[in-house]
A = this chain, B = another copy of it.
């Protein structure tokens, strides 16, 4: 009336190899052998193995299970309570994983701080092209990776800047100019508008906010700088290169004039 290793393993719901592994690790005492050298198990082995399996299923490392099996009931009880806490936390973790894989299929909320996601939503809302939004997203991702806090603050600032109709006009004009020829006559007007807007919000104009130290330029009022955040090769079109060149010439002339 003793059990073979296969009967024991099947009843408890583990593999034969697992039982042998628990012997090797010293979790389950090696039983006596029968005449053929087969291990033969009694009821205590069933009880011990179910304990081991139950704890192992709960994710308790085998080394800790070994310590727990030798512990008194009060220490065992405390350990059980702590393991239960871990399992409760695991349930919350899995619930969050479900939300996150749902986000994965949905959009790009997952890749950005909430403030940046809010800015991108605002850009979509005012009619910015998908191409520019993609470039903004990539730029903000890189900025967030280097300094999440600073990126969030700057994104909020830029989103507020978009409440200004003139900033929206300049930003959308630059966005739409992407595919123009580099000698398109409208680029001059666009460069003028950008320089004029930047001048009105530049230091000394009396309109800027207090600058934080180390924050040399403020992308919330400078779509050119913002677009440069994602300086992937090829991201600048001929028209954009041209309008930036024109703007630089004019602001240089204004500074020296």
Contact = CB atoms under 8 A, between A and B. Distances in A.
Classify the secondary structure of A's interface with B: helix
Contacts of A148: 11
A47 B108 contact: yes
Contact of A54 (B10, B101, B141): B101
B87 A46 contact: no
Nearest to A60: B101
A94 B91 contact: yes
A129 interface: no
A133 interface: no
A88 interface: yes
Contacts of A43: 137-139, 141-142, 230
Interface string A92-136: 001101101110110010110000000000000000000000000
Given A1-B142, A3-B145, A50-B111, 15 more contacts: A2-B142, A10-B145, A42-B138, A42-B142, A46-B141, A46-B142, A46-B145, A47-B108, A77-B105, A84-B102, A87-B94, A87-B98, A87-B101, A90-B94, A91-B91
